[in-house]
Amino acid sequence: MAPIPNPQLFLAAHPVGYPVPDRDFKYDTSESIDLETVPLNGGFLTKTLYLSVDPYMRNRMKEGGWALGSLFEGFGIGEVLRSETDKFKKGDILYGTLQFKAYQVWPADTTFRILPKTQDIPYSVYIGVAGMPGQTAYYGLKGIADPKAGESIFVSTAAGPVGQLVCQLAKAWGLRVLGSVGSDDKVEFLLNELKIDAAFNYKTASTAEELKKFGGIDIYWDNVGGPTLDAALDAMNTFGRIVVCGHISVYNQTPEERYGVKNTYAMIYKEVKMQGLYVMTYADKYADEFYATVPKMIAEGKIKYLEDVTEGLEHAPDALLKVLKGENHGKEVVKVA
Ligand SMILES: NC(=O)c1ccc[n+]([C@@H]2O[C@H](COP(=O)([O-])OP(=O)(O)OC[C@H]3O[C@@H](n4cnc5c(N)ncnc54)[C@H](OP(=O)(O)O)[C@@H]3O)[C@@H](O)[C@H]2O)c1
């Protein structure tokens, strides 16, 4: 077989403000690979099927994060084309950290999860609600939020992959759920598909008013930071818990531009607990439980999901920009092959 192109995506510049595809990324097709003869040196060769673009990538792109000229990497799904290790065999579908390139040779000691070959769940979902974003939701609810049936929870960015699972697990566990999102069709999705109790568009409604209408909240799942966090702080019930999962409203701002949270005084007499979440910290404790629970719930239709698929590695920069601007509808997935 003749060598074929092995396209890849590099970081070309550290963005200031929102990334600019033509300036900050370099899509390069100059490398080629012969899939039949490329040496494996005891390792294995994968073809990239799907790549995940996630909000955290914006932080990696800034000065002090990924070095200029480095390959993008993130969670993805790959298929094993050839292998010289017993750990993985030809045809295995793997989930783990992939570089943003079409084909890759890996050393034998690389860690990946082999996905089940059932057709119950499309493989792409394993980078969404059944992957890292879903784990974030599951781990944060179990490890920090301490939800109890009858309590109420407010979830910002509720239609993204993290928010989708937080909302649905909270509903399944007997909580009242309020979600905020940035468009009316996302509101419809939350109410009609995820069947949560209430939802609003934070761009056209007042978050403080919506929280008042809903009643006090026991848990706030914070995906955005900024004024939404201030409004939630005011609405917390006594002994409320705030899971600080993300601050996407400030990811594209300089430290000087960032909104400073004002209402932390509201925590004092209500004895509110606010805790940051880093998904990886909880993997040892909850990963087995997550994989035993969530994919099964998805296969049984008990957990719904929405995906937004962008075709082609060359369009990964646009896909990331969509996420950072709120133009994605559900988990943003790049289909590479
Ligand atoms: N702590 C951890 O370990 C961990 C792990 C994974 C993810 N996260 C965080 O969890 C959050 C959700 O992640 P995801 O993967 O589910 O993302 P996502 O929903 O796919 O992506 C981004 C969404 O954020 C919203 N958004 C964008 N700019 C915004 C702004 N200026 N103000 C308010 N909302 C804005 C948009 O939704 P709307 O249209 O609704 O505004 C957009 O669709 C992110 O903050 C992410 O960084 C944290």
Residues of the chain with pLDDT > 70: what percent? Answer: 100
Residues facing 28 on adjacent strands: 8
d(CA 138, CA 145): 10
pLDDT of 171 reads: 98
Residues of the chain with pLDDT > 90: what percent? Answer: 95
Please name each of the domains of the chain with its CATH number.
4-127+306-335 (3.90.180.10), 132-280 (3.40.50.720)
pLDDT of 120 reads: 84
Band of pLDDT at residue 237, cut at 50, 70 and 90: very high
pLDDT of 1 reads: 74
Is residue 24 within 8 Å of residue 317, measured between CB atoms? Answer: yes
Instruction: Report the candidate in 201, 115, 126, 113 with the shortest Cα–Cα distance to residue 156.
Output: 201
Q: How far is the CA of 79 from the centre of ligand 1 (A)?
A: 28
pLDDT of 130 reads: 97
Q: How far is the CA of 3 from the centre of ligand 1 (A)?
A: 40
Q: How many CB atoms lie under 10 A from the CB of residue 248?
A: 21
The average pLDDT across 17-23 equals 94
Verify whether ligand 1 is closer than 6 Å to residue 328 (CB atom): yes
The average pLDDT across 157-164 equals 97
Verify whether ligand 1 is closer than 6 Å to residue 58 (CB atom): no
CA atoms within 13 A on the CB side of 161: 26
SS3 (DSSP) at 261: coil
Residue 115 is given by DSSP the state P
Verify whether ligand 1 is closer than 6 Å to residue 143 (CB atom): no
User: Each residue of 82-115: pLDDT tens digit?
Assistant: 999 999 999 999 999 999 999 999 999 999 999 9
Is residue 93 within 8 Å of residue 79, measured between CB atoms? Answer: yes
pLDDT of 260 reads: 87
User: Is the per-residue pLDDT at 118 higher than 80?
Assistant: no
User: Is the per-residue pLDDT at 252 higher than 90?
Assistant: no
pLDDT of 332 reads: 97
User: Each residue of 286-328: pLDDT tens digit?
Assistant: 999 999 999 999 999 999 999 999 999 999 999 999 999 999 9
∠ CA(249), CA(255), CA(256), 5° rounding?
Answer: 105
The average pLDDT across 39-61 equals 97
C-alpha gyration radius of the chain: 21
Q: How far is the CA of 223 from the centre of ligand 1 (A)?
A: 6
Q: In this structure, which amino acid lies at residue 330?
A: G
